Amino acid sequence: MDTSPPTATGGDPFPEGESVATIAAPDALFASILDIAADAIIVVSSSQHILHFNQGASQVFGYLPEEMAGRPLAELLPGRYRSAHREQIETFRNSPERARRMGARREIYGVRKDGTEFPAEASISRLETRHGPIYTVVLRDITERTLRERHDRFLSEAGGLLGTSLDVGRTLQALANIPVPYLADACIVDVVGPDGAWQRQVSGSDVPEFQGALATVGRETLSWDSPWRAIDAMRSRKVEMVSAITDDWLEGHTESPAELARWKALHMRSALFVPLIARDHVLGSLTLLRRGASTFVPEHVTLAQALGTRAAYAMDNARLYTMAQRATRAREDVLSVVSHDLGNPLAAIRLCAAALLEAPPSDVKEQRHLMQAIGNSADWMSRLIQDLLDVSTIEVGKLSVERRTEQVAPIVRQALAMVGPQAQQRGVELSSSVGDGVPAVHGDAARLIQVLTNLVGNSLKYTDRGGSVTVSAAAQGDEVLLRVRDTGSGIPADQVPRIFERYYTRKRGANKSGSGLGLSIARGIVEAHGGRIWVESAVGEGTSFFVALPAAR
């Protein structure tokens, strides 16, 4: 290819052998001025052929200066812009302006020697010579700046989306979808709660097959013993990148053939594992997946880290908000219990005390009755306060349980002795049945007595005079099964699922006051022993509470 400058016969205004350098300045000085510039500086003739191509232009476009001498400037532009660019130069030639910034109304692009396009900003100036105008184009590659601006917009929009809700579930869903498709083809969010429970959320997809495979993976949950790479990222608190995911890699990072098959169905090529850390606490991880040939580069890692930081704080804020809501509800519940349930025994104490002070009865038996009423009311208040303390310790997982090997029969006897007067007062028959050979349990006897008294006390509340409550114990495999059965009104089916909730009281047949804490406390104590508790009931047929405790070895 002839790389010499165009001649006059080719439409160039300069005589053969004469270049812009010979007109504008001495050769060496002109070249030195242009070549020290970091920007691309290109001088073209009136026919838009290149007269000078500096070192900055060589670095930007990838061509050597001698390669571009005499070639059309249009070769440095994407094909779709060439025609319009020629017209713009002609318009500029006929305008009174001597200099103009190019691309003022829209972005402009250049094309490198390898065919890749890049965003640019450029300005052009015109110099009139005796041979006609020559043009100097100063061009700057703004790829990095444009990329930074896009990343900043992405993070800004991500922050806005993460801040739209303080609901943990919605925040998780938003986080899973934010990186797609800007940063990855799919995203999986794994978080671990303060109670150690794991939760997973996956991004959506417009491709049905891929969406189905993602949904399948989304039904799995992690554990700290999982070989999945996200656990490594959480432990090290550093981003982990896998540039090439192979079947062998997947086999080494899954726990079963079924799990391996589920991950294979995603057809991943590369992955990025980003820990979610807020206020020095590791909350979980982001798994960013790519299916195409392009892998993650350092700038993607930086962007993913920035997203992970924003996401972690959004998750932590949502959790703190949820905890604050729970604390507010708990406070309101406690105030409700204190104002309502403590009000009754306090009123009884005031009435009895006033009677003893203002008009004490002469009958000793009547005096004893009033003093006993005061004592019973005080015991009632003490039980309510203890219930509030117990439910608080259960809530934070700090319930005190001192385990020993205990026989079941004495526990049942002591529990019935404590509720015996209450059963007698209500006219309800109370009995027990502990089968032969019932093994001992490894537990806290005082706490287990508390469980039985709460269960029996609940049964007595809903059993009419003439009814019965029976406590039994029997061996069942490796467990001891305790049962509290009453002949009371029974529990409506719609209330059974809520019967062990805190502060929940049955609406039908609840003719006696209560804090709604007894059954919740019983469940907490049983679970602290590694046991199970459940209820079976039918309206009009009575209720049975079951407690299964591990037998002592």
pLDDT, tens digit, for every residue of 193-207?
A: 887 889 999 998 888
Provide the pLDDT confidence category of residue 524 given band limits of 50, 70 and 90.
Answer: confident
Q: Using an 8 Å Cβ cutoff, are 165 and 319 in contact?
A: no
- The proportion of the chain whose per-residue pLDDT surpasses 70, expressed as a percent, equals 84
- The proportion of the chain whose per-residue pLDDT surpasses 90, expressed as a percent, equals 44
Could you report the per-residue pLDDT of 425-438, keeping only the tens digit for each? 889 999 999 988 89
Could you report the per-residue pLDDT of 172-228, keeping only the tens digit for each? 999 999 999 999 999 999 999 887 889 999 998 888 889 999 999 999 999 999 999
What mean pLDDT is predicted for residues 465-486? Answer: 94
Q: Give me the phi and psi of 340, to 5 degrees please.
A: -95, -60
- For residue 292, pLDDT over 70 is answered with yes
Per-residue pLDDT at 393: 66
d(CA 546, CA 476): 12
Strand, coil or helix: what is 396? coil
Q: Give me the phi and psi of 219, to 5 degrees please.
A: -80, -10
d(CA 470, CA 423): 11
Distance between start and end Cα atoms, the chain: 93
- For residue 255, pLDDT over 60 is answered with yes
Could you report the per-residue pLDDT of 56-73, keeping only the tens digit for each? 999 999 999 999 999 999
Structural domains of the chain ordered from first start: 8-141 (3.30.450.20), 147-323 (3.30.450.40), 342-394 (no CATH), 399-550 (3.30.565.10)
Burial group, residue 280, by CB count within 10 angstroms (0-12, 13-18, 19+): exposed
- For residue 14, pLDDT over 70 is answered with no
Per-residue pLDDT at 177: 94
Angle at 49 between CA 46 and CA 51, to 5 degrees: 95
Q: Using an 8 Å Cβ cutoff, are 191 and 172 in contact?
A: yes
- For residue 398, pLDDT over 80 is answered with no
- List the one residue out of 260, 303, 313, 261 whose CA is nearest residue 283: 313
Per-residue pLDDT at 334: 63
- For residue 138, pLDDT over 80 is answered with yes
Separation in Å, CA 223 to CA 232, 281, 284, 398, 437:
12, 17, 11, 23, 40
- List the one residue out of 240, 241, 262, 239 whose CA is nearest residue 251: 262
122-136, 278-292, 342-356, 452-466: the lowest-pLDDT one: 342-356
Provide the pLDDT confidence category of residue 308 given band limits of 50, 70 and 90.
Answer: very high
d(CA 26, CA 108): 33
d(CA 109, CA 74): 12
What one-character-per-residue DSSP string does 520-551 give?
HHHHHHHHHTT-EEEEEEETTTEEEEEEEEEB
Could you report the per-residue pLDDT of 433-469, keeping only the tens digit for each? 998 889 999 988 888 988 898 899 889 989 999 999 9
Q: Using an 8 Å Cβ cutoff, are 52 and 43 in contact?
A: yes
Provide the pLDDT confidence category of residue 1 given band limits of 50, 70 and 90.
Answer: very low
b/e map 440-452, b = 16+ CB within 10 Å:
bbbbbbebbbbbb
- For residue 505, pLDDT over 90 is answered with no
Strand, coil or helix: what is 205? coil
pLDDT averaged over every residue in the chain? 84
Helix 257-264 vs helix 208-218: crossing angle, to nearest 10: 150
- For residue 310, pLDDT over 90 is answered with yes
Provide the pLDDT confidence category of residue 551 given band limits of 50, 70 and 90.
Answer: very high
What mean pLDDT is predicted for residues 405-430? Answer: 88
d(CA 46, CA 72): 11
What one-character-per-residue DSSP string does 58-72 give?
HHHH---HHHHTTSB
What mean pLDDT is predicted for residues 393-408? Answer: 74
What one-character-per-residue DSSP string does 415-462 give?
HHHHHHHHHHHHT-EEEEEE-TTPPPEEE-HHHHHHHHHHHHHHHHHT
Tally the residues of the chain.
553
What mean pLDDT is predicted for residues 401-412? Answer: 89
- List the one residue out of 189, 163, 167, 166 whose CA is nearest residue 176: 189
